[in-house]
Amino acid sequence: MSSQQSKSNAPSVATVIQVRESLVLIEIGEDQAIRKNEVGYICVGDERLKSEVLRIRGRTADMQVFEDTTGVRVGDRVEMTGEMLSATLGPGLLGNVFDGLQNPLHELADKYGFFLPRGAITEPLSHEKKWEFTPTVEVGSLVPPGGVLGTVPEGPFTHKILVPFGLKEPAKVLQISSGEFTIQEPIGKIESAGVEHDVTMTQQWPVRRPIPASMLRRKYVERLYSETPLTTGTRIIDTFFPIAIGGTACIPGPFGAGKTVLQSTIARYSSVDVVVVVACGERAGEVVETISLYPETKDPRTGGTLMDRTIIICNTSSMPVAAREASIYMGVTLAEYYRQMGLNVLLIADSTSRWAQAMRETSGRMEEIPGEEAFPAYLDSSIKSVYERAGVMRCSDGTRGSLTMIGTVSPAGGNFEEPVTQSTLGTVKTFLGLSYDRAYRRFYPAIDPLQSWSRYLDQLAPTLNEELGANWIRDVKRMHELLREGDSINQMMQVTGEEGITLEDFVIWQKSVLLDMAFLQQDAFDEVDARMPRLRQKQSLELLKMIIDHEDHFQDRNEIRDFYTTLIGLFKNWNYSPPESPDFEKYLKEIQDAFQQTAPVLQD
């Protein structure tokens, strides 16, 4: 906040004194005040261009403009609002597609057509729709900030109406009503710190400030330890590189490695309630595919469409740089809001590389000292500050909510050593590195099992061992070691050929290929194989472990190759078979028979 803030609490009026593409330098009067992240509007004729204060130096300030700055001139008037860049939180968010400033794109298209004029804005939530409000407190109740006043139905969920997060003290309920209301109509009245407030079903919250920050200090909200695994239905993730509910993960990979398909699969099948997708800089074609696919995709959890419990923040690579940078914070704030209701929320950011590039462009225009590859010196702390907003919370009403965050990274050429990937790896606890080589060979998902890792494997060990067996984590680590050993043998064969290795090593390599082809690979477009429940993953891995653990005494390489090739085909057919179907039992028996025919030889 500027030192001049105390002189006046009224919104200021400033003047443009310099324009550098999307960055505008403004000057304020001596008796006026301004603060960082305050929103202002640059007046260009009849247009008002929304902007945000990034840096203050005396009576001047740098503002990033969320629109094209063509026509902005020195001397143009800037109307400051005195408000931070904020999100509107309330019922009606689910099922919407917003831009990075929370303008609903469908509403803008209906109002202005498909080519949006500069400065076009509309209300984030409908002011006409009525919601059936049911209070859960009585007059005289004392409710903490973020506490529940009542509920309204929203899609498949019960949407909790919360006491404003920004209050400094618990609120006493002076009046509460029930019935149908719009989001603008008061539903009650509360008193906090001696000040009375009318309460509606919406509230504003600055997007760059974590929602629970002010409440943590007063112990109304408690951050909890992540001890429950996120079930995605993708075998290589759930078994080898698990993600905790409320945890963090990243999916870096080169173009064409399958990031978009993988994130869609995770969004559809993960064990979460609400999904927030932030398309912060992806190509328009991929974003259009997401927007078109989600409303048509059946949700396996609710029976409706996936869009019913999804929010999409859309900022393509052709949209203004500043809006792309803001979209991440907008998406995280909306996700935190639903977490405060006790729901499990998944946020997928695609891709954080474009977000970092937007920061690099803005930092360059501000003439800040650059870091590695011209990214801002604060890139690392910016990435950490976003991922740190994930976590599991015990909310003020005793329920548990979580925010799990998965960011995709698009390093040029698949170079994982570049700054964005490295900063992300230093922050997240699960790394799912996509390999161009595996994608080229039609492996899906193209997650490289030898580059990827998860720090949650040991953290979740008590839960997984209790659910799947006392030795589950030990067996998973042993299977992972088999993959490494098989890869070393394969690299040796590239030099010496098959005849250059021992028969024992050839068997080990074939076992690693069996594990890779039969378990790690899935078919994202098959209704059964795209999602495998965790208990069936256990059944499949235990069957593979039984085969792999037998000591082999084959006579030649052709016999070895034929045996494991047959098993791979049977396992793949079994993976495509619905549980309890005739095909499921048929292929399971064929796998067991094929093994039993060889087992007596193996045991001699």
253 annotated as a binding-site residue: yes
71 annotated as a binding-site residue: no
160 annotated as a binding-site residue: no
C-beta separation of 7 from 32 below 8 A: yes
212 annotated as a binding-site residue: no
* Helix%, strand%, coil% for the chain, nearest 5: 35, 25, 40
* 42 burial level (CB within 10 Å; 0-12, 13-18, 19+): buried
Nearest Cα residue to 101 out of 314, 351, 408: 314
Residue type, 343: L
Q: Is 408 helix (H, G, I), strand (E, B) or coil?
A: strand
C-beta separation of 12 from 28 below 8 A: yes
Q: How wide is the angle at C-alpha 550 spanned by C-alphas 549 and 552, nearest 5°?
A: 125
Nearest Cα residue to 332 out of 318, 316, 352, 317: 352
Q: Is 204 helix (H, G, I), strand (E, B) or coil?
A: strand
554 annotated as a binding-site residue: no
Pairing of strands 171-176, 188-192: antiparallel
256 annotated as a binding-site residue: yes
Question: Under 8 Å CB-to-CB from 126, ≥6 apart: which residues?
Answer: 92, 183
**In three state form, how does the secondary structure of 89-138 look?**
ECCCCCCCEECCCCCEHHHHHHHHCCCCCCCCCCCCCCCCCCEEEEECCC
257 annotated as a binding-site residue: yes
Per-residue DSSP letters for 27-87? EE-TT----TTEEEEEEETTEEEEEEEEEEETTEEEEEESS--TT--TT-EEEEEEEESEE
247 annotated as a binding-site residue: no
Q: What is the dihedral of CA 387, 392, 394, 397, to 10 degrees?
A: 80
Question: From the annotation, which residues make up the binding site for ATP?
Answer: 253-260
Question: From the annotation, which residues make up the binding site?
Answer: 253-260
